[in-house]
Structure 1
């Protein structure tokens, strides 16, 4: 048994890894899922343990119901509890709707929407008053500045509605649920020096990409007891993309 446990889906790299490290520094033991990046998952476990917290990496397919259940079940089996759930895993399809396949649609819905709902449902069985659920949305839920983002934007907009409804379901239980909506963030999957990055940065009020730490700090705040009066909110951390 441990004092506080956070679960981060898609946590082996990028924003997920930054969130895991930040929450470890906040005093959480960390369970996180990954799909294929075993070497990066093992490296993150070492970093968390160097911080002085316990770590558990869970290989799972977040696009399946069985994978979503596995993430929660293995966390509870290993740590005995869940205090915070960060639903970070997601797919980023880039295709216009007239070119999208049915498989494209199913994949993004299963991972970005159904996975979040199943993980939340399963985690709530083990979450007590003071629990925190944080969904990783996107500023593209509110503004799609160029073509090719209809599938992705739809799934991230869905998280806003889910959080608003679930906030009503969970409010009197003392459990909060919120959405963090990043703008363009410099990661290995979306580097600030990639082709087309300058065009995207041009839609941002600051004119620049953000950093993974910007998102991790917001998640950290929402996971604290101090944030108990914030629920059902979609909070942009986007450099003014939505301004």
Structure 2
């Protein structure tokens, strides 16, 4: 029997790359799923058709989750549709990079609105709707621990904030058996960072395992953290980075 039968999951930013792999894995494990996306409707519709054709329950909701009202409304819509919520995975993020002197005045606010505020508000909302034993997983980045070069100050700062947030959530929600954990991928072969892209060799140079990871490998880690077997795992940060941080 699939380990998530009867569970309902929400994936914030779950239609492409790592997010899509997580959506596929959670449904394969038996969960019904609600997925938010920003603006690539064709990608969302293709994933929905794929999941439904395989016999899974899937609802796609378009929302700019950097907007608090839109994020809360999307979660409400998904929970109203499925009738419950057991799992939240926050994937959506942005990378505003470049020379320090070139950052726009609003770059900090835009970075933190999507990379930090959105997963915080999603966790806060989800926790109010979950029963005992819920699961919250946030997808961060290994640059929170090691910044390999110039140009990523805001991206690294926003991703570093997720570690403290996760530890705080673990303390706030532990009495209810709700776990909160952080997954920090290194170079993963996606549209944003392809294994054959112009930066691929530089991305791989710090690795102990000299290849890009795959979205499915990240999804497998998330699958464990959302399962019953991970009920005593909370407040933890998991690096899935091919040895980037070793």
TM class by shorter-chain length?
A: over 0.9
| 2:150 is the counterpart of 1:147 | yes
Task: For residue 51 of structure 1, report the CA deviation from its aligned partner.
Answer: 2.6
Whole-Å separation in 1 of the counterparts to 2:169 and 2:145: 20
Whole-Å separation in 1 of the counterparts to 2:46 and 2:53: 11
Segments of 5+ residues of structure 1 without an aligned counterpart are none
Match of 1:39 in 2: 42
Whole-Å separation in 1 of the counterparts to 2:81 and 2:118: 21
| 2:220 is the counterpart of 1:217 | yes
Q: Is the 8 A contact 1:192 1:209 kept in 2?
A: yes
Whole-Å separation in 2 of the counterparts to 1:173 and 1:95: 42
Compute the RMSD of aligned alpha carbons: 1.1
Match of 2:239 in 1: 236
Of the candidates 162, 184, 187, which is equivalent to residue 184 of structure 1?
Answer: 187
Of the candidates 122, 126, 150, which is equivalent to residue 123 of structure 1?
Answer: 126
Match of 2:15 in 1: 12
TM-score, length-scaled by structure 2: 0.96
TM-score, length-scaled by structure 1: 0.97
Match of 2:100 in 1: 97
Instruction: State which drifts further: 16-25 or 92-101.
Output: 92-101
Q: Is the 8 A contact 1:21 1:47 kept in 2?
A: no
Whole-Å separation in 2 of the counterparts to 1:43 and 1:18: 13
Deviant stretches of 4+, over 6 Å? none
Segments of 5+ residues of structure 2 without an aligned counterpart are none
Whole-Å separation in 2 of the counterparts to 1:112 and 1:230: 23
The size of the alignment, in residue pairs, is: 242
